[in-house]
Amino acid sequence: MDTDTIESTETSKDAVNYAIAATDSKVEWTGSKLTGGKHNGTINVSNGEINVKDGKIENGKVVFDMTSISVEDLKAGDGKEDLEAHLKGTGKEEASDHFFNVNKYPQGTFEITAVTEENGESIVSGNLTLKDVTKAVKFPAMITVSENEVMIHANEFPINRTEWNVNYNSNSVFDNLGDKAINDEVLVKLHIKATK
């Protein structure tokens, strides 16, 4: 996948601005080990905006609250808190940068640069920034634009976490991990609602 960043589009003067409804928006993620076994959870959306021109999304920006990383498949007291702390980097100091190091990088962003049609599907293109690294991503999504709201529901799509320096237990970065190896690809789903 080509991951060079995409140049931003300027917002038209007559574009309609929709504010992202944080409580109705979220990221879902699934990470897995090479030997099987996986975890899934969510990341909250803080804020952002979508600009619409002639009934179509022109551009936008979504801000993620990386401190909200949550693990959904484990129960409280059964490893949930430990894994969340490990992902956030808020547990042991030497593990702070294993994954997302939220004390240093509390936010992530996705800047929407274009929405195009390919084979009858809407494709969202843009720049994803995590840990101060920005790479281009694109993914198919179901998009509805109405008078008062915009909805973006992305199908599950993979991102290679090592491109954003999330290298912990990556086979492509470290040798001899054996059954501790974690897949580089993380599956992501995006649910965004924005209102006027």
Identify whether the C-beta of residue 140 lies closer than 8 Å to the C-beta of residue 149: no
In the chain (196 residues long), the average pLDDT of successive 10-residue segments reads 71 94 98 93 98 96 98 96 96 92 97 94 96 96 97 95 95 89 96 97
Spatial distance between the Cα atoms of 192 and 143, rounded to a whole number of angstroms: 10
Q: What is the DSSP letter of 22?
A: G
Q: Give the residue extent of every domain in the chain.
A: 16-62+105-195
Spatial distance between the Cα atoms of 110 and 112, rounded to a whole number of angstroms: 6
Spatial distance between the Cα atoms of 58 and 17, rounded to a whole number of angstroms: 10
CATH topology of domain 16-62+105-195: Lipocalin (2.40.128)
Q: Give pTM, 2 decimals.
A: 0.93
